[in-house]
Structure 1
């Protein structure tokens, strides 16, 4: 790729602003109504903000801390247009994590948008960092619209090279402090070219942006893909209006993490009074197609042509449930370090339990220990300020050591077995890989928040929270289900894998509590640290409410 022929988000924004200036790009529901921004309006605001940002030294690091909104994308594009580097921060991150990211990245400025805990967070942000509000007027920081009105459009966007950084994405930190993944322009360009072999995005496509834009998947699949291919982006006003906002958007491509798909399934079945009613309806000839179509319409998925599930392991029962209502979920696999790109199931492939084949242009192999090694054109430039860790992660031959364990079948389909760091040893000297056992328990117990523990114990044991399930006000009922299911689950496991106990709690596991990542993945170390002192594996009772 030469510096003359590669595309950038800014060059593509210019393209669409001049080719389809009056076409709507961003749709933002607000308390006062729906705001719509055309391609030209977005380009105009971005170029004016870029002029303001040109006061900072070239290649400055500028952060964004906000829930998803139209001005998140505009701020990102303005940072790029001014020749700077975007530092996205999860809006649910703790104050200590926000400060760590700002300090480690040496950010010069910070765009601040809507936050769920703004009253607690804003007063404690570092004073030395310049702040700009993209949400509303604030007495202690300039407001986006005022700055846009004040400036003329930048005369010429900054010139960038393929190997220049577009962003430093801090990982969500399941294994420790977040690491700064350096993403060059060449990687973004390569990723968006490679993905065309799986799905072709056009200006007729509609995306819904609701997962954190600080996550590589949302940034690539929504932020960058929309501006590269001219698709429309719709945002949600709040979680309370999620379904209605999705129905209004009528997305054609929809991305969700496993927890989101699971919660959608649970909400539908609970509304119908349990899975039995829907099973009867879907099993009735002539009626089943009508019911499936009606359900998709009520969920806002009537026009979805490609649905993606990624970022964590997926319960097979959930995949099959959506397939029954006519919505095929295509699993995918990738990391921040590869721009979220590696494997994906194609729409025409029937593949349950595996995350797809290699995307053409990517390479994959397994190490002797079963670790997944990746190599592709969308690879990161390394970890910011961590050359030793970079050298440990990317070997001399350019292979990225993912830390994930996998299995590749004869057709080249990849299955994720677990994380190498998650494997633990019992006192019997046997190693346990928790991921597959956790998925089995989620399916059998019909609960989505579980964690298998047992390092230093004779047998592994399961911890479950019912806080966000239908059993939140009746954990005793769930205890009876566990008592029935535990022997059946154990029968399907090897002797060293069989669980001695199931422990039930009613505490919410959320990003705010520090027990989940911002993308709703389990954080094992904090969970074990919090709950192990409360767990007694010497009790004769096999299912215990703690």
Structure 2
């Protein structure tokens, strides 16, 4: 039976995200708030120090003329300054508009123009160049504030440094000491807090209008479930331009734990070993890569070590299955498990710092087999579900009450139901106000009585746990009349093949399914070194007969697990991986299926000729 949580907290939410921050500073002043890379080490700041800096930056924005609900853009990777900028915008009464650093100049200009941003925080020269290039399209942007002050002085006073903004704020506070607290006291729950443009898998990005109450509620709901505590330590690398990152920030303000921040994806594993966090949020691709890396490393060891590793996970998975089913573990199996925990599982846990209580997975579906593999090693991955349109968090599993393969029950204070065609529908304080400047799109997404249509197909069990079975628009029907959920097949392959990066299935109105496959460059570099191809280019490696044979064996294994009409009859390896830069992945690492299909239409067509 799902845990029952008192939902009375929903009636007593803090009025705004800005007030939530100021309350946290007042309550936890001398405690650690953030740490971030500085030189070879890490620098730490207290809540009081962060509060002082944010207040000056917020006053600086007020001095620049930012008014209530006016938009302020942030074009930057995840770093401590991103957090400061966002909190400053909140405390100035503005509304943060997010831009992924990988967004091209055209889309950056569209987002900042459509949102009518008054000020933009730009990380570095690369981001500033986009703004300068499109300055004529940004008539409302009066000032650009850069985190890394190395810019062309030809831009005059249009671009200033973060320190310069703080100095401006300090002078403003001398004249009006209560300027920031007065503004914060006037912010209400229904005021606009953020405008997040969904990267989307089709069409122009849409601006999602999220109010202060949405973010305050998300943090309060996590706190009410007793999932995170003040003594936890978060490692945060997720793109803050994505709603998942903002939910983790709201959870931090509600619960009071410290956060270590570094958005460099290639540093995640190294950072986990240094920071030793108790939890981290991530997209499934991170867990897939970690799983693949560990498995391929053991395969490379070969011999006795590989045999021990395989037997350890065979035992671990059986013990974990029994525990989750509530059945006893035979004494001999328990002894074996204890031995393998020392020999194998403890080393896996140590790769992630050794202190992780759980990871939280969101933004895309996590394969159940990969979740079970980590659980067998003593690393719990709690899968959650939501979308930008409901401030990211709609359901989540709990450390003491979870079901593998599900995304958990609704967070307390919200509702989930299934609509027509089993479409998942969401209602609660976290649901968006609507799409910015798009009333027709808003009417399609929201019912008259406030339910959000998600576009996802799902099932709800007797305990209220939700399972996502596929994206409705991605489901297709073969010419034989069988419905296919491609994402389910794709995740199965990525759990089987440790070298896989992407596996994209097609077959709409065709008589069989086909797939385009890409391999992980890091994993394949290791494979090449072990198979006499060290130093060979990625393209040459994946084009080799040996790799084709190896991948074919994994496709055969996959087909054994599928219904006859789901099996992959033909497939091809691409000579490059999908990327955000190519437009084939969203910044949150979701595949843009239509773009991949269009880019490879001749190749896909050839499968059927």
Whether these two folds match at TM > 0.5 is yes
State the Cα distance separating 1:492 from its structure 2 match: 4.1
Correspondence 1:303-452 to 2 at 5 A: 303-446=355-498, 447-452=500-505
Answer with 247-256 or 465-474: which moved more: 465-474
CA distance in 2 between partners of 1:536 and 1:270 (Å): 34
Answer with 436-445 or 333-342: which moved more: 436-445
Equivalent position to 1:287, from 339, 357, 366: 339
Correspondence 1:235-246 to 2 at 5 A: 235-236=261-262, 238-246=264-272
2:59–2:179 Cα contact (<8 Å) kept: no
SS at match of 1:535: helix
State the Cα distance separating 1:498 from its structure 2 match: 3.0
2:426–2:454 Cα contact (<8 Å) kept: yes
State the Cα distance separating 1:482 from its structure 2 match: 4.0
Determine which structure has more spread, i.e. the larger CA radius of gyration: 2
Residue 124 of structure 1 corresponds to 133
1:366–1:373 Cα contact (<8 Å) kept: yes
Equivalent position to 2:17, from 9, 22, 25: 9
SS at match of 2:74: strand
Distance change in 2, residues 1:235/1:3 (3 Å)? same
Distance change in 2, residues 1:430/1:4 (3 Å)? closer
1:237–1:245 Cα contact (<8 Å) kept: no
2:385–2:407 Cα contact (<8 Å) kept: yes
Structure number with the higher helix fraction is 2
SS at match of 1:358: coil
State the Cα distance separating 1:244 from its structure 2 match: 2.7
CA RMSD of aligned residues (A): 2.6
Residue 104 (structure 1) aligned with residue 114 (structure 2): yes
Distance change in 2, residues 1:480/1:119 (3 Å)? farther
Residue 500 (structure 1) aligned with residue 569 (structure 2): yes
Equivalent position to 2:65, from 56, 60, 68: 56
Equivalent position to 2:284, from 231, 255, 258: 258
SS at match of 1:272: helix
Residue 511 of structure 2 corresponds to 458
1:253–1:305 Cα contact (<8 Å) kept: yes
CA distance in 1 between partners of 2:435 and 2:38 (Å): 37
Residue 331 of structure 2 corresponds to none
SS at match of 2:86: helix
State the Cα distance separating 1:442 from its structure 2 match: 2.2
2:105–2:131 Cα contact (<8 Å) kept: no
SS at match of 2:420: coil
Answer with 11-20 or 319-328: which moved more: 11-20
Which digits, 9 at most, give the CA deviation of each residue in 1:209-235, with x for residues without a partner?
1110011111111x2222232221111
1:13–1:39 Cα contact (<8 Å) kept: no
1:444–1:485 Cα contact (<8 Å) kept: yes
Equivalent position to 1:203, from 212, 230, 254: 230
2:501–2:520 Cα contact (<8 Å) kept: no
Distance change in 2, residues 1:437/1:146 (3 Å)? same
Residue 39 of structure 1 corresponds to 47
State the Cα distance separating 1:76 from its structure 2 match: 0.8
CA distance in 2 between partners of 1:421 and 1:46 (Å): 42
Distance change in 2, residues 1:285/1:424 (3 Å)? closer
State the Cα distance separating 1:467 from its structure 2 match: 4.5
State the Cα distance separating 1:287 from its structure 2 match: 3.1
Equivalent position to 1:509, from 563, 570, 578: 578
SS at match of 2:55: helix
State the Cα distance separating 1:391 from its structure 2 match: 1.2
CA distance in 2 between partners of 1:521 and 1:163 (Å): 31
State the Cα distance separating 1:22 from its structure 2 match: 2.9
Which digits, 9 at most, give the CA deviation of each residue in 1:281-316, with x for residues without a partner?
55555432223223212322x222232111111122
State the Cα distance separating 1:42 from its structure 2 match: 1.4
State the Cα distance separating 1:185 from its structure 2 match: 1.0
> TM-score when scaled to structure 2?
0.82
Distance change in 2, residues 1:413/1:84 (3 Å)? same
State the Cα distance separating 1:200 from its structure 2 match: 3.8
CA distance in 2 between partners of 1:5 and 1:400 (Å): 22
CA distance in 2 between partners of 1:14 and 1:57 (Å): 19
Answer with 288-297 or 274-283: which moved more: 274-283
CA distance in 2 between partners of 1:503 and 1:273 (Å): 24
State the Cα distance separating 1:454 from its structure 2 match: 2.0
Distance change in 2, residues 1:518/1:285 (3 Å)? same
Residue 148 (structure 1) aligned with residue 148 (structure 2): no
5+ long unaligned stretches in structure 2: 1-8, 301-305, 316-335, 528-537
